[in-house]
Each structure stands twice: as C-alpha cells, then as structure tokens.
Amino acid sequence: MSDCTIPVTEVLKDLQIPCSSFREVRGGEASSVYQVKSPDGEHYALRVLPEKHDRHFRYEQSIMKYVQDKGIPVPRVHQVKKWNQWAVMLMEWLPGNTMLQSLMKFPEKAFQLGMVFGKMQYNLHQIPPAHIGTQNWLTPETEEERKLFHQVRVKSGPSVILHLDYHPLNVMIDGHNVTGIIDWTNCSIGDRRFDIARTLSILRLEGSKLFEDNSVIQAFEEGYIQGYDQMDNLGDLSLFLAWAGFRMMRDLSGRKTADELMTINEWSHSWIREK
C-alpha cells in the first residue's frame, strides 16, 4: 500500500500519542504499518488502511480481545478510529521479531521454531467459537471452492476460532516465546483443518521460495506438525489442502502472474488427484 499520503504525525497528534520518531515497517502488503516511539520510551504499532476498512478494524479488535481473554498472546489494541480517508488502529508494539526473521537468522533452529509455531496454533484451536460478526473468509465464491466446501462439510469437526493467515510473518517471537499473533483480518470460525491447510499451503507454496536451502522450511514444517498436538489424528487433509490452494488463488488474483496462479492451481489439483 502506498504510504506517501498518510500524514502519520497528524494522525498521532489526533490520537493524542506524543511521538519522538516513527518508521514504516516492511512486511505489510495489505496495510501500512508504522513503529512509533514516544518520548517516554513507549513503542506502538500504527496500522493504516483506507477508511472503508474501519468496520473491519473494529471487528478485528473485538476478536483480539476475545482470544486475549482466553490466554492467546495478541497485541493490546489501544484505539481504532476513522481519520479523514483512513482507518487507523493503534496497538501495543510486540517485543521480538517475526517468526520468519528468527527462522532466517537461526535456520539451524527451524524444527524447534516450527514446534513453537505449531503449539500456538493448537492452543488457538482450543478456543470455542464466539459470535464474531458476519465476515466469513471461508465463504466459498468460486465453483472449485464450493465443490470442495460441500465435500468436506459432510465430515466437518467442531467449530473453533480460525486465524486463516497463520504464517511466519504474522507470529512474533522472542527467544522461544511467542509474544503475539497479529493480522486477524481473515479470522473466522470453522473446522480447524481449514486453518491448518491454509498454513501448510502458505509454507509450501510461498515459504519455500524464501529459502535457498529447502531443508530449512521443510524442518520448520516438520516441527510445526509435531508441535501441533496429534495432527495425525485429524485424518487425510487432501481436500482441505486443495481448498486452501483455490482459496489462495482467489486471495492473490491480481497480485500474482498467470504462471504463478497456474502453479497454485496445479498444486490444488494434485491434492484432488491424491484422493
């Protein structure tokens, strides 16, 4: 998102946050994210999106509060506000690095980091569903998604809270402790295998591109599977993985080349053939 027109200093003044410095954080594709330092040493994260996302920020805020009350680490949201043509969310700045930064810095710890990552998603999936509004990222829109949705619904498990963008840039870690899960934009409720398949699809289709040595992301995935208690007992994930690929195609259409989308499409079909 282009940030050149966002008057960060004015926004902060209006939020009554004294600022000694701020910097844009890399890594946010959907929104602009800034790290803000106040003179008393307090650090904040400021997320900015076009104003039509204001309701969505409020929705995220209520989910974050709900999961936080159940013991899941997430940043405390201080304020959500409409500001001219922007929607802004001011939250606590989490200590540590993204899981991806840690993985790149300590590739030899890929398996252990994966374990921590998997365990946290398992903990999230122990949370019973709340009434979380009308947004539903799971709602199928393409023919392929609809078909798979219908097929998996027959054997669906209980509904839990799903993050649906649980990947190494959205999990912050300090040493071996997760300091918070961020970016709750896609959060929905449903069978936990949707969330697991979504994470696996991101690790396999996107994560593998980030490392020259494929064994790093493979070790991370192995740790993830092991850390998520008894993932093996969830049965065959093929149809969920096929769904995740088709859903990713819809999510990324417009942001990927035709060839890249074709690769994802082929990946999805390979899971259907697997069945």
Ligand X SMILES: Nc1ncnc2c1ncn2[C@@H]1O[C@H](COP(=O)(O)OP(=O)(O)OP(=O)(O)O)[C@@H](O)[C@H]1O
Query: Can you give the binding site for ligand X, defined by CB under 6 A?
Result: 25, 27-31, 33, 45, 47, 75, 91, 93-94, 98, 169-170, 172, 182-183, 185
Q: How far is the CB of 74 from ligand X (least distance, A)?
A: 9
| Closest approach of ligand X to the CB of residue 44, in Å | 8
Q: Residue holding tokens 């690095």?
A: 97
If you search the block for the tokens 């696996």, which residue do you land on? 200
What SS3 class is residue 167? coil
Sequence-ordered list of residues with C-beta below 8 angstroms from that of 101, at least 6 positions apart, any chain: none
Q: Binds 232, which of ligand X, Mg ion, none (CB < 5 to 8 A, cut-off by type)?
A: none
**β-strands 171-174, 97-98: how paired?**
antiparallel
Site string for Mg ion, 117-156 (x = CB under 5 A): ----------------------------------------
Two tokens, residue 213: 């040595």
Choose among ligand X, Mg ion, none what residue 30 binds, the Cβ cut-off being 5 to 8 Å by kind: ligand X
Q: Which of residues 177-206 bind Mg ion (CB under 5 A)?
A: 183
Closest approach of Mg ion to the CB of residue 27, in Å: 7
89 binds, among Mg ion, ligand X, none (CB under 5 to 8 A by kind): none
Q: How far is the CB of 129 from ligand X (least distance, A)?
A: 23
CA angle (62, 162, 185) in 5-degree steps: 50
Residue 54 within binding range of Mg ion, rule CB under 5 A? no
| 60 touches Mg ion (CB under 5 A) | no
Of 182, 116, 194, which is closest to residue 152 (Cα–Cα)?
194
In 209-264 the beta strands, taken as DSSP E runs, fall at none
Per-residue b or e along 37-65, where b marks 16 or more CB atoms closer than 10 Å to that residue's CB: beeeeeebbbbbbeeebbebbbbbbebbe
Quick one: what does residue 31 bind among ligand X, Mg ion, none, with the CB cut-off 5 to 8 Å set by partner type? ligand X
Taking CA atoms, 75 is separated from 144, 168, 269, in Å, by 36, 16, 38
State the nearest-atom distance from the C-beta of 139 to ligand X, in Å: 20
Q: Nearest approach, Cβ of 157 to ligand X (angstroms)?
A: 27
**Which residues form the interface with Mg ion (CB under 5 A)?**
170, 183
